[in-house]
Structure 1
Amino acid sequence: MKKNLIIGTAGHIDHGKSTLIKALTGDETDRLDQEKTRGISIENGFSQLENEKTRAENLKLGIVDVPGHKKFVNKMLSAAAGVDLALIVVAADEGVMPQTKEHLAILDLLGVKKAIIVLTKIDLVDREWLQLIELDLRDHLKNSFAETAEIVRVSSTKEAGIIELKDLIVKTALKMDQQQRSEITYFPVDRVFSLKGLGTVVTGTLFSGQLKSGDELSLYPEKKRLKIKSLESHGCEKQQINAGSRVGINISGINKSEIKRGDIIAESNSLLKSKFFEGELRLLDDLNFTVKNGDQIHFHTAALKTRGRIYLYNKKEAFPGEKVYIKLILEKAAALVFKQKFVLRRISPLNTIGGGEILELDPPPSRKVDNSKTVKKLKELNKASIRRAVELFIEKRQNEPAKIELLKKKSALKSKSLKEILNKLTAEEKILELAPEKSYIHQSKLKDIENSILKIVSDYHQEYSLKPGIKKEELRSRLDFKLKKNELNSLLQILYKKELLKEKNNLIAHSSFQIKLSPEIKEIKDKVIKKYKKHLFSPPTRTEMFNYYQLEEELFDYLENEGVLIRLSAELYFHISVLNELNEMFKEYFRENDCIDLAEFRDLIDSSRRYALPLLEKTDQIKITKRVEDYRYPGENLEL
């Protein structure tokens, strides 16, 4: 089975990192003229370790060589996030130095699990001094991920210990598991340039997923579309690249000027773009300052560096060695994934504060002063399996269902894996599927939403006692919980099965609801019906009836819903028996006549044009008559 791992150097300036990589691979990682002139690394350098053993084991070992100067820690951070195995380089003639400690802390914060300690320049000191340096090293490595790491003594210039180091690197790598950061393709850009004849090229470490020649992807956070023209890894053109590989991508559809370090290449619609994030922060133990609520910070993750502010939940300040839950508000939007590692540094002086994991992508912009519930949820997410995290993402949706598109972005899962989790949670009755494969709510929210629906319907019955029920759209608009039509229908079906609600003619009512008329209303109703029956073809207008009887407006709606009156305009209502009368009149008329016009119809019913025209339009609608130009002929529903 093929395995791709990234080896990253770490250590103080001038401790021999670049010289070590040249001894291991033969490659000169300092490529800039300025680096060669000054004798220090300024940018990250790249190489690979390849020999008979790696080829036999199908093992690909990319190497990232980072600058050791304190001014270039941001460059080190842009590469360190993709490191699987760290080579912590310490010069034997100097021992542990400030950048040794900071690089070690950064690797620890970024979750690097394995390390090899490389003691360089052993030809410059005696054996007794080496033993003292190793003891000091062990002391500094206590309680870190590298506490039990093997120490290898080398002289890169004299190639002493190089073979042994190569063997140990390969042996260690073979025992390591490939990191599974997420399922989706996630490629942070750490360098962008143009090549004559090729166009735009970006380089970086593929954190997760795959890249294939011809893939159409997106550049985040701007969500610009691009296409992969070709792929190259360590000088070889590839058709496909797997996670854990250094890769150069020749892309089309986007210019060099539109891309910057820290941008992400990923599948379209797979990532959330936001300035707001929540997570857990672990402060370094040896800080000589506290972190205060609202402090400005440098935020580092993958190849991204931006400024932001840090807000502590339920705290005004945090102390060295403490773990706290925070909100980050960044100056620039970023596209991150669940449980992505980050590092925070001070604005001035440039010291590393600590680091942690992103737990919530794009949380609400503001929270209440009491953040206990927020902290509780973040603690749950921190400990959660991916399955439990998906459930929490659904449960935390306050005012709307969780859409499957959102869950994909928040979980960084492929559709198939996410659907399997959702199906299990649905089968366990922990969540409810509202729209097939589109949206979900947590069972803990279901009772509250049901009660809200029942209350809205009850309030409607109280307000409009003569109406048989509330329209679905009005019910949906009154709900605080945002639901689409099909989502509301799913919830209503549950309430119908529980016999709490009923539906008739698209109107929703309580199952036990019946319209009850008071004696006063019943008396007025009878008078209204009598009036409309008496004036069948020239009835009073709605306004006239209101003025005469002092009616409640909903009485007309009631009579219409009961099928007693038919409405032909905002003001004109007719008694339902008018349709039977017209049916009989047309039967008799068309026995002797082929057609009828408006004037003839007006005379036939002994009324005015005001009433005749809407009545004819109604008979056209129900196909008692059929209009051809200015004449009406017998319709298909008129039996002669």
Structure 2
Amino acid sequence: MSSGLHVVATAGHVDHGKSSLILRLTGIDPDRLAEEKRRGLTIDLGFAWTTLPSGREIGFVDVPGHERFVRTMLAGVGPVRLVLFVVAADEGWKPQSEEHLQIVDLLEADDAVIALTKRDLVDDATLRRRDDEVRGRFASTRLAGAPIVPCSAVTGQGIEDLVAALDAMAERAREPERDGRPRLFIDRAFTIRGSGTVVTGTLTGGELTTGEEAEVLPSGHRARIRSMQTHHRGIDRAAPVSRVAVNLVGTAKDELDRGDVLSVPGAWRPTSLIEGWMRPVRGLAQAISTRGAFKFYAGSAERDARIRLYGSREVAPGGESFVRISLRRPLVVAVGDPFVLRDAGRRATVAGGRVLDVDPPKRPGPDAIDRLRGRIGLQGKALALRLVVERGAVRADDLLPLTGLRSSAAGTVKVAVVEGGWVLAPGFVEAFGQALREALSDHHAAHPLQPGLESGEARAWLARHDARFQDASLAHALIAHLARTGSIAVDGSHLRLPTHHRSTAGRDDADRLVAAVAAGEPTPPSVKDLAATGFGAELLRAACADGRLVRIAPDLVVTPEFLARATETLRELGDQGDITVSAFREALGTSRRFALPILEHFDARGLTKRKGDVRVLREER
């Protein structure tokens, strides 16, 4: 059971009485323009509302019926799920009746009531023929079986039955989503003296609140909601689905267009590239090819478009295809949104379908059809999981604009791994985790004396193997997850396998290195001299890391035993007073070349303090 507010769009051929019927139902004339009243022809969207006998409020979007204004009709009916379809009993089915039904069917409207207007102008036999004709036209659409109500806006005949049918449709209507992303499809923007900019549109998806910051897309302009109205009644909170007028502070009328979306910051991301599924309109006489230009319609927006079909070069009448749609200007759409395509040259509606991807890969790849087929019908967590599986890794903050799932709910995506602001697919983690472990194993084999692979080198290695890791934060997230789960170990700035433990113990080359240094003390060989005799820098670093040698200066290493003796010598001299380089040199039995860097080492350790040409022991030593 549905309650609250509902929005219904009209549809039907020109001059079949849509606006007159709305006036009869609501007491509000939807034709607001002087030219409309002069010509007796609806040329722009009109709006009206009423309260049904059940107490439900219903808003009407009255659309023009003339073929020249189909683009305006699409802007009105695009965001709306309920339809009042109007056919005049005296004229019957007409060309725009057919095109409007094609559009309503392509947009997959949820429900409809059919008003057979001008009942007072025909006899009963004609009325029965019209009823049969209309019923037959609707039979092959998703709205087959919609109630048909004969009525007259002039005499009032059948109006009560029509109101009852509208009330029953509102009763059947599905409850709108109230915890999703708000999306007000703007169809009007104007300025009120003393108030400023006002936009009107149909609100879906979520709520808007007075005082909150809003974002206009695709421009990205920010504004504040000063006040709102529904049906000329001031409100603090607007709920879907409803007609809403929003007074904005911070944006001008000329910065707004029909087809823009008003929402809250960060909820949506405009796109100019879409993938989806499409089918030709019923009765299409020729195949749809990728040649030529098209008009794309979704929500209240219209965009110039080019299409690319997957799996074929054309779609025959009665067929279907997955499609890639390139738009000249970005717009806001969601996965699952219906759309309509019109041939720009012939100005004819040719196809419609559903959006399946709002951020497709730059290159479709050979699996595009399978990828899109797997997205059909997915929403929320299921869509988020599909996105993560497709891409391997998705920023948590991207889930909301791409799938409607808030980043705070990323952890609820089944089997996905959440780490460092990323949502990772298990297969992605396993594949690159295994590759990184193999790289570490190779590194350990080639450099057994190194503590591991530098983390910067590991990130660079990942980036070379997959462009996604050029975003360093993704590499950080993967490494953090592997470390947290014990797949790898992190020691300072190095990565290693948990089983790798560098050690020089028992290595003959390390023993010989230490012996060579000890043999030369108190005037040990320099690092350069050690390298010349075959002791490499890696072995030297490992011996120092293991504590078997101590690096005193870039070109000087000593044994811990010698350093202990030098420390004791230093303390003995310091207890007697100032320490000079010459006194320390003589006491240690070495040369100035070695004595000075050792003293500087003690300075750095905080054992001594230099005063001019002498040193003194620090009080705390």
Same fold (TM over 0.5): yes
Tell me how far 1:291 sits from its aligned partner.
Answer: 2.5
Matches within 5 A, 1:252-401: 252-293=249-290, 296-368=293-365, 370-371=366-367, 374-384=368-378, 386-398=380-392, 401=393
Q: Deviations over 1:407-466 (max 9, x none)?
A: 1222213566x35xx3372xxxx222324xx33222233321221121110221243243
After superposition, the Cα gap between the structure-2 partners of 1:503 and 1:411, relative to the gap in structure 1 and judged at 3 Å, is closer
Deviation at 1:246, TM superposition (A): 0.6
The one of 194, 197, 201 equivalent to 1:200 is: 197
Q: Distance in 1 between matches of 2:433 and 2:583?
A: 57
Which residue in the other structure is 1:17 paired with? 18
Matched-pair contact (CA < 8 Å) for 1:276–1:329: yes
CA distance 1:632–1:412, shift in 2 (3 Å) = farther
Map Cα deviations across residues 530-556 of structure 1 (whole Å, 9 max, x no partner).
44445557655544544x235544333
Q: Distance in 2 between matches of 1:607 and 1:336?
A: 80
- Kindly state the Cα deviation for residue 622 of structure 1 after the two structures are TM-superposed: 3.5
Distance in 1 between residues matched to 2:163 and 2:436, nearest whole Å: 68
Q: Note the C-alpha offset of 1:141.
A: 0.9
Residue 5 of structure 1 and its aligned partner are, at CA, apart by 0.9
Q: Which residue of 2 aligns with 1:444?
A: 427
Q: Deviations along 1:375-424, whole A, 9 cap, x unmatched? A: 223222213353322221221123xx3222111222213566x35xx337
| Partner residue, 2:6 | 5
Where do 1:539-618 residues align within 5 Å?
A: 542-546=527-531, 548-549=532-533, 552-567=536-551, 571=555, 573-577=557-561, 579-593=563-577, 615-616=598-599, 618=601
Aligned to 2:229: 232
What displacement does 1:175 show?
Answer: 2.8
Matched, 1:489 2:480: yes
Pair 1:200–1:618, CA change in 2 (3 A) = farther
- Give the TM-score, by structure 1 length: 0.87
| Contact 2:573–2:584, Cα closer than 8 Å, also in 1 | no
**1:576 Cα deviation from its structure 2 partner:** 4.5
Contact 1:194 1:201 in 2 (8 A): yes
Residue 164 of structure 1 deviates from its aligned partner by: 2.1
Q: Label 1:631 to 1:300 Cα distance change in 2 as closer, same or farther (>3 A).
A: farther
Q: Contact 1:116–1:146 (CA<8 Å) still a contact in 2?
A: no
Q: Secondary structure at the match of 2:104?
A: helix
1:526–1:152 CA distance, 2 compared to 1 (3 A): same
Change (3 A) 1:571 1:85: same
2:183 match: 186
CA contact 1:5–1:84 (8 Å) conserved in 2? no
Matches within 5 A, 1:59-74: 59-74=56-71
Relative to 1, partners in 2 of residues 1:618 and 1:517: Cα closer, same or farther, differing over 3 Å?
Answer: closer
Question: Which residue pairs with 1:30 in the alignment?
Answer: 31
- RMSD across aligned positions (CA): 3.1
Mark the runs of 5 or more structure 1 residues left unpaired by the alignment: none
User: The residue matched to 1:591 in structure 2 has which SS?
Assistant: helix
Q: 1:379 to 1:630 in 2, by over 3 A?
A: farther
Deviations 1:320-353 (A, max 9, x none): 2222222222211223222122111112111112
**Residue in structure 2 matching 1:247, options 241, 244, 247:** 244
Q: Does 1:510 align with 2:490?
A: no
Identify unmatched segments of 5+ residues in structure 2: none
Q: Which residue of 2 aligns with 1:463?
A: 446
Paired position in structure 2 for 1:407: 399
Change (3 A) 1:238 1:456: same
Q: Decide whether aligned partners of structure 1 residues 514 and 169 sit closer, same or farther in structure 2, where only a CA change above 3 A counts.
A: closer
- C-alpha distance 606-364 of structure 1, shift in aligned 2 (>3 A): farther
Alpha-carbon offset, residue 634 of structure 1? 3.5
Measured after TM superposition, the shift of residue 44 of structure 1 is 0.5
Counterpart contact for 1:201–1:250, Cα < 8 Å: yes
The count of corresponding residues between Structure 1 and Structure 2 is 612
Render the CA deviation track for 1:447-503: whole Å, top value 9, x for unaligned.
Answer: 21221121110221243243232233322332236335354122123244xxxx455
Conserved? CA contact 2:381–2:405, under 8 Å: no
- SS of corresponding position for 2:372: helix
**Cross-structure match for 1:124:** 121
- Describe how 1:50-61 pairs up with structure 2 within 5 A: 50-51=51-52, 53-54=53-54, 57=55, 59-61=56-58
Q: Deviations over 1:94-116 (max 9, x none)?
A: 21112111111211222211111
Name the CA distance, whole Å, in 2 between partners of 1:267 and 1:458: 49
> Taking structure 1 as reference, are residues 553 and 414 closer, same or farther at Cα in structure 2, changes over 3 Å only?
closer
Structure 2 counterparts to residues 153-172 of structure 1, below 5 A: 153-172=150-169
Q: Deviations over 1:342-373 (max 9, x none)?
A: 111112111112222222221221133x23xx
**Residues 484-493 or 597-606, more deviating:** 597-606
